[in-house]
Structure 1
Amino acid sequence: MRETVLAKGETATLVIVTTDTGTEVLDEEEEVVETFPDDRHQELLTRYLAQGWEIEEDGP
């Protein structure tokens, strides 16, 4: 499992979570924003960083 917490501004938060069953992106209320049946963690991380998001935490 890999989990990356992203932040933008004071209140916006996204969490990218990848497990054996795929990748999900959750918002600050833990609502699913995106879901994929495979590992798209790095692809999504690159996309969000390009949009101005910053990494707060990244790890297993």
Structure 2
Amino acid sequence: MRETVLMKGETDTLVIVTTAAGTEVLDGEEEVVETHPSDRHEAVLARYLAQGWEVEEDGP
């Protein structure tokens, strides 16, 4: 499993979670924003970084 926490500004948070089941993006209230049936962690992370989000935490 890999989990990356992204921040934008003081309060906006997204979490990218990848498991054997695929990749999900959760908002600050843990609602699913998007889901992918395969490991798309790097592509999703790159897209959000390009939109101005910053990595707060990244790890297993």
TM-score tier after normalising by the smaller chain length: over 0.9
Provide Cα deviations, 1:27-49, integer angstroms capped at 9, x if missing partner: 00000000010000000000000
Provide Cα deviations, 1:2-57, integer angstroms capped at 9, x if missing partner: 00000000100000000000000000000000001000000000000000000000
Q: Secondary structure at the match of 2:56?
A: strand
Long gaps (5+) in structure 2: none
Runs of 4 or more consecutive aligned structure 1 residues displaced over 3 Å after TM superposition: none
Note the aligned Cα RMSD (angstroms): 0.2
Task: Give the aligned length.
Answer: 60
Specify the alignment match of 1:33 in structure 2.
Answer: 33
Q: d(CA) in 2 for partners of 1:38 and 1:14?
A: 19
**TM-score of the pair, normalised by structure 1:** 0.99
